[in-house]
Structure 1
Amino acid sequence: MRLSKLGGKEIVNLNDGGRLGLVADSDLVIDEKTGKIRYLIVPDNSLQLNILRNRTEIEIPWEAIRKIGNDMIIIELDEN
């Protein structure tokens, strides 16, 4: 699958059904040695701190991805 096809997909957590955002708003962290994706960095919009520019982020390990569907990516991520 091409990266451009992932861009419009929404990220949904299997554990609580929460929507975390779109892949298009996320960053990918890639291991320079292996070329494998390590994790996604998704802006945490739940705190609504965009006015103050204190944006927090959620790191989603690539291993937490359970399914990539037509419209969304299902992840399994516990809240800490």
Structure 2
Amino acid sequence: MRLSELGGKEIVDVKRAERLGVLGHTDLEINETTGEIKSLIIPSLKWFGLKKEGAEIKVPWKHIKKIGTDMIIIDIPEEEEKKFE
């Protein structure tokens, strides 16, 4: 899959049934040596899309369970969920 094919897909947490963002409004952490994507960095948004200062969610690539035509499904283990609250 090409990076251009990922753009515009919604990122959804399957356990929380919550939309976290849209790929394209996120940053990617990439391993400079291998070129592999290590994680998605999703800015947290307030009402009307105004950013919270310094708030972001970092989702390791291993937690991505499915990439569909319209969305990316992530599943974060319970022990790591506290980082998102």
Bin the TM-score by the shorter chain: 0.7 to 0.9
The question of 1:60 aligning with 2:68 is answered: no
Structure 1: distance between partners of 2:66 and 2:16: 16
How many angstroms does 1:35 deviate by?
A: 1.4
Aligned to 1:42: 42
Which SS does the other structure have where 1:60 is aligned? strand
Q: How does 1:15-54 map to 2 (within 5 A)?
A: 15-45=15-45, 47-48=46-47, 50=50, 54=53
Which SS does the other structure have where 1:66 is aligned? strand
Q: TM-score, normalised by structure 1?
A: 0.86
Amino acid of the structure 1 residue aligned with 2:17: G
Deviates most, 56-65 or 70-79: 70-79
Aligned to 1:9: 9
How many angstroms does 1:4 deviate by?
A: 1.3
How many angstroms does 1:2 deviate by?
A: 1.4
Q: Which has the higher strand share?
A: 2
Amino acid of the structure 1 residue aligned with 2:27: D
Identity of matched residues, %: 49
Amino acid of the structure 1 residue aligned with 2:23: V
Which SS does the other structure have where 1:25 is aligned? coil
Indicate the RMSD between aligned Cα atoms, in angstroms: 1.8
Structure 2: distance between partners of 1:68 and 1:50: 27
Higher relative contact order (CA closer than 8 Å, sequence separation 6+): 1
